Amino acid sequence: MMQNTKKEGIILVNKPKGITSHDVVDIIRRRLRTKRVGHAGTLDPLAEGLLVVLVGRYTKAFLRFSNFDKEYLGVLKLGEATATGDSQGKVIKKCSYDKITKDKIQEVFSSFQGDIEQVPPMVSALRVKGKRLYELARKGIVVERAPRKIKIHSLEILNIDFPYIKFKVHCSKGTYVRKIAEDIGERLECGAHMVKILRLAVGLFSLDKAVELDDVNESHLQKITI
């Protein structure tokens, strides 16, 4: 690991479940005693795993990092749709999944690969007329969202243990994993939501190179070409 004379570079952090990406940034600001800290791609409180933290002049390279493909490990639960698309939201619909076969699940998963359109969820951080969608959602306001083009490079089922499906997805920027789960639930006509989201990679950066948040210090700053 390179020694840094300035507080700048990137830190690969293993974000724990239960806190926001902004919480991680605040913790690292205090730890490094510098204000110029940001991140390159939000992870929701439910989500855990790789968060690329940018420090110093590297914060100016946000777009470069946020444009990278991502890889996730996910677990969805069939039979229940929630208001947020994950296990932290109120259950709004329950349906039986008893007649759904593994072959049907594989067929539906396969239909999501390639270039597709996805409607961003209301709990996302996208802005509409200056307001974050999740801010509107907290007030019970639902607005129309235009579908966005994304690319699912691969969507692999790892295990099916009803009502849970464990899977791995390699996707383009702008992909919402929780929305994939919701859409799969709709196509299976039984509803679904995410119970686990683990980010494995951002571009060439992988989770196995990340440091635990409690252990972050200045020595973990990495300088790369930007």
What's the pTM?
0.91
Mean pLDDT of 144-173: 96
44 is catalytic: yes
Marked catalytic residue, from 23, 26, 44, 208: 44
Does residue 30 sit in the same domain as residue 96? no
Does residue 138 sit in the same domain as residue 212? no
Does residue 120 sit in the same domain as residue 210? no
Distance between CA atoms of 118 and 146, rounded to whole angstroms? 9
Considering the domain boundaries, does residue 137 fall inside one? yes
Mean pLDDT of 151-173: 98
Count of CB atoms situated within 10 Å of the CB of 214: 9
Residue-wise pLDDT for 7-63, tens only, equals 999 999 999 999 999 999 999 999 999 999 999 988 989 999 999 999 999 999 998
Distance between CA atoms of 175 and 114, rounded to whole angstroms? 12
| pLDDT tier at 141, thresholds 50, 70, 90 | confident
What pLDDT is attached to residue 120? 84
Count of CB atoms situated within 10 Å of the CB of 155: 20
Whether residue 6 is predicted with pLDDT greater than 90 in this model: the reply is no
Considering the domain boundaries, does residue 225 fall inside one? no
Of 73-87, 138-152, 189-203, least confident by mean pLDDT is 138-152
Does residue 29 sit in the same domain as residue 39? yes
Considering the domain boundaries, does residue 226 fall inside one? no
Q: CATH number, domain at 189?
A: 3.30.2350.10
Does residue 195 sit in the same domain as residue 100? yes
Distance between CA atoms of 31 and 134, rounded to whole angstroms? 29
Q: Are 79 and 92 in contact (CB under 8 A)?
A: no
Does residue 55 sit in the same domain as residue 133? no
**% of the chain exceeding 70 in pLDDT:** 97
Whether residue 226 is predicted with pLDDT greater than 50 in this model: the reply is yes
Q: Are 80 and 190 in contact (CB under 8 A)?
A: no
Does residue 116 sit in the same domain as residue 193? yes
Q: Measure the N-to-C terminal CA separation of the chain; round to a whole number of Å.
A: 18
Does residue 159 sit in the same domain as residue 183? yes
R_g of the chain computed on alpha carbons = 18
Considering the domain boundaries, does residue 29 fall inside one? yes
Does residue 87 sit in the same domain as residue 197? yes
In the chain, how many domains are there? 2
What pLDDT is attached to residue 5? 52
Distance between CA atoms of 170 and 70, rounded to whole angstroms? 6
Does residue 101 sit in the same domain as residue 18? no
Structural domain for 44, as ranges = 9-67+204-220
Considering the domain boundaries, does residue 180 fall inside one? yes
Considering the domain boundaries, does residue 2 fall inside one? no
